[in-house]
A and B are shown apart, each in its own frame.
With several copies, the nearest count.
Chain A
Amino acid sequence: MAEPHIPIESGVPDPFPYMHPVLKRNYGTWRWHDRPRPGVLRHVAASGEAVWTVKAGTQRQLDVFTVRLLCAIGDECADGFMRFTTRSNIEFMVTDEAKVAPLVARLEADGFPVGGTGNSVSMISHTQGWLHCDIPGTDASGVVKALMDAMIHEFRHEEMPNKVKITTSCCQINCGGQGDIAVNVQHTKPPVINHDLVAQMCERPAVVARCPVAAIRPAMVNGKPSLEVDEKKCVCCGACYPPCPPMQINDPEHSKLAIWVGGKHSSTRTKPTFHKLVAAGIPNNPPRWPEATDIVMKILHAYKAGARPWERMSEWIDRIGWPRFFEVTDLPFTKFHIETWRGSRASLNASAQLRF
């Protein structure tokens, strides 16, 4: 038998062997950029060299056939190089402006919508869901596909006031990050405990420690060590489920979707902000989640119509205020919108600044 393989702990690969030569040559010396059309960026370096980037959407969950198709496009139209963005879009770079139009045409022809640059709605940051995760309340790929289909015009055009970054998460752990809009699972009932399995599957003190509101306590049930949930305290977050799968939080009926708006990572103009709950109780309705999609589209259209250039979602709402946000999106404002978590007082309006 062969020697056991000793891994080569090579870590993160050096990007230079895989980088388009024009990027390598002008590394660190880019000077400015513009966007000749949606989906296309032109960057110009100190050397005077320019590179055109053509950006297109992918489904992220790629079969090798699709990857090879992208490679073929890369070879035929873009010097054999490409990169992916942090949002699973693909970018091909060319140094000759004349190659832009054919590249765009080829991508579109092969089913990859060109867009996602500038003030467009880019691809959704998506997570695993039923396809792969062990704790999902919904699917991610399906939600993303349904939403991107609905928003395709906004991906292909730059008609938004600023970039729109959407995220989704398939459980309340929220691997998707903050988003201008976020579509996340929100459970509405405490976990249902399978007491027969707790003793064999769960380290009880660890589970107890995991609950953010100390709603879990060890208990003997039917003579076996198990756990008990104080249903009055429980906030249905599902944090107990990963370390203890017998605490079933997912429920076909009561695991709902919620929509959040105004998350922002950039420190641009305004400081980064967390997204805020605007709608919950939305049915988790595969395969196309029409109710969630509708609300997202309503919000997008209100933002598009009302925000000023450069205003991110949160900045638009800061200007027009939450009363008007709920009005223009026709979403109900309820007691659930009022923060109850630590430091909640800070989210109240402690001023005489008001909107009517």
Chain B
Amino acid sequence: MSKEMPATPMLDELESGPWPSFVSGLKRLAAAEDKPYAPMMKDLLGQLERSYETRKGYWKGGTVGVRGYGAGVIPRFSELAGEFPDSAEFHTLRIMPPAGMHYTTDILRQLCDIWEKYGSGLVALHGQSGDIMFQGIRTANVQPCFEEFNALGFDLGGAGAGVRTSISCVGAARCEQSCFDEARAMRMVVNAFLDEMHRPSLPYKFKFKFSGCANDCANAIQRSDFAVIGTWRDDLRIDQDEVKTYVAKNGRKWMIDQVIAMCSTRALSLNDDDTLAFDGESCVRCMHCINAMTKAIKPGDERGVTILLGGKRTLKIGDQMGTVIVPFLRLETDEDYEKLLDLARRVVDFFVENALEHERIGESIERIGLVNLLEAVGLELDPNMVSHPRTNSYVRTDGWAEEAAKWRARKGSAEAAD
């Protein structure tokens, strides 16, 4: 006789309404009497209903993994194992999806088939860091399940004090704003750190994220330690005929209110002949005018990325945005991409050597100062790294002449190279 379906009056209330219901999904799994996971999902529903009643969680961590790896499985043991024995173990496998989260129906079905065999049938597409989260598996099944995913070309993602799973925006695959090959950069970098991902031994977690432009669809600037964001170094490209078409269609007031007045830095003005006056000096490459007039304006031709370090959420020092450590790195040739990887390596090395335990790199910067980090990593100072120079005079400035000479030497050689 099959196990009884638990009464879930509170959860049931989440079955109504227009948005797809996860509760209905859980129930479908629990009711799939022919599947190995039905009892597990019944108990899972029972425990979740209990949480809704008591407003308390009942999971605790532990240690579960696959051979050769030290991370990628999130172990969950129930505190209510006595009452809900079939979901006593309910671990998650974090599996990295193809960059950009592209799937064929075929591969998705294969993944489902494996998951039905070993796990709960419940999968999150995707976790906030970008993993496919196969949620709900017993300890004993973890290894064989992983082996089948692995054989299909999929690998575990990050967890713990290591390099984490990354996200790149859809970018070049389907977006005209894309300033570099996001998927290539992401795979190149992350796949070079698989050792640091699978056998975590960093001071704390380390996340990369890749957005093709300043619209930052991958939330790189705040949600990654190392953000790679597309930009360009020359001027944006304007098609004045298309501009006129926009003005003709939407009117001058639209143009003034929605484009001109919303430019970050007053880099735009409307000429009397309805063409756009653009001042390259003032433009901060904020994407707004491009977004607003996608047919008329494009990023420049000399494309690459800005790299920012130190984004993170609240713990210990409060939220941090990443801040610029490389204003522009051209990304075009293979060598360019190698440079990106090389820089990532140096930053991670710095992190390993200098961060305190449980310290994100943003916290290290806060503690030791940007300048020390730049020197250690071997990066050159640039005024693009600051919103503004210091406002406080409490600084010892002997050595000014030497530092000034360094700058002049760099500028001199940059000019000579031009």
Q: Which residues of A lie under 8 Å from residue B90 when comparing CB positions? A: 132
Q: Which of A9, A269, A275 contacts B198 (CB 8 A)?
A: A9
Q: Which of B22, B183, B219, B405 contacts A86 (CB 8 A)?
A: B219
Q: Which of A57, A346, A354 contacts B306 (CB 8 A)?
A: A354
Q: Report if A177-B122 is in contact (Cβ < 8 Å); known contacts: A234-B396, A268-B286, A277-B390.
A: no
23 pairs, A vs B, C-beta closer than 8 Å: A12-B155, A17-B104, A18-B107, A43-B175, A86-B101, A135-B57, A142-B52, A149-B16, A178-B219, A212-B394, A265-B223, A274-B321, A275-B391, A319-B265, A320-B281, A335-B381, A336-B390, A338-B371, A341-B395, A342-B318, A349-B387, A354-B328, A354-B384
A158 to chain B, nearest CB (A): 14
Interface residues of B in 153-173 (CB under 8 A from A): 153-156, 166-167, 169-170, 172-173
Q: Which residues of B lie under 8 Å from residue A129 when comparing CB positions? A: 57
Q: Could you tell me if B288 and A269 are in contact, using CB atoms closer than 8 angstroms? A: yes
Binary contact readout A25-38 vs B (1 if CB under 8 angstroms, 0 otherwise): 00110111110000
Q: Does B4 contact A (CB under 8 A)?
A: no
Q: Which residues of B lie under 8 Å from residue A276 when comparing CB positions? A: 388-391
Q: How many residues of A contact B (CB 8 A)?
A: 165
- Other A-B pairs beyond A15-B98, A132-B59, A340-B390, 14, CB < 8 Å: A18-B98, A28-B172, A30-B176, A63-B25, A64-B116, A131-B48, A236-B397, A252-B55, A319-B265, A332-B408, A338-B369, A348-B385, A348-B386, A350-B387
B159 to chain A, nearest CB (A): 12
Q: Which residue of B lies closest to A5 (CB)?
A: B147
A206 to chain B, nearest CB (A): 7
Q: Could you tell me if B221 and A345 are in contact, using CB atoms closer than 8 angstroms? A: no
Q: Which residue of B lies closest to A320 (CB)?
A: B281
Q: Report if A13-B154 is in contact (Cβ < 8 Å); known contacts: A142-B52, A212-B315.
A: yes
Q: Does A141 contact B (CB under 8 A)?
A: yes
A8 to B154, CA, bound (A): 9
Q: Could you tell me if A132 and B92 are in contact, using CB atoms closer than 8 angstroms? A: yes
Q: Does A288 contact B (CB under 8 A)?
A: yes
Q: Could you tell me if B59 and A15 are in contact, using CB atoms closer than 8 angstroms? A: no
Binary contact readout B276-301 vs A (1 if CB under 8 angstroms, 0 otherwise): 00000111111110011011000000
Q: Could you tell me if A281 and B384 are in contact, using CB atoms closer than 8 angstroms? A: no
A96 to chain B, nearest CB (A): 16
Q: How many residues of B contact A (CB 8 A)?
A: 176
Q: Report if A274-B105 is in contact (Cβ < 8 Å); known contacts: A62-B123, A112-B20, A322-B383.
A: no
Q: Does A47 contact B (CB under 8 A)?
A: no
Q: Report if A186-B198 is in contact (Cβ < 8 Å); known contacts: A323-B384, A335-B371, A348-B386.
A: no
Q: Report if A347-B387 is in contact (Cβ < 8 Å); known contacts: A149-B17, A274-B319.
A: yes
Q: Which residues of A lie under 8 Å from residue B68 when comparing CB positions? A: 5-7
Q: Which residues of B lie under 8 Å from residue A288 when comparing CB positions? A: 13-14
Interface 9-residue window, one of A73-81, A98-106, A220-228: A73-81
Q: Does B217 contact A (CB under 8 A)?
A: yes
A307 to B198, CA, bound (A): 46
Q: Could you tell me if B135 and A61 are in contact, using CB atoms closer than 8 angstroms? A: yes
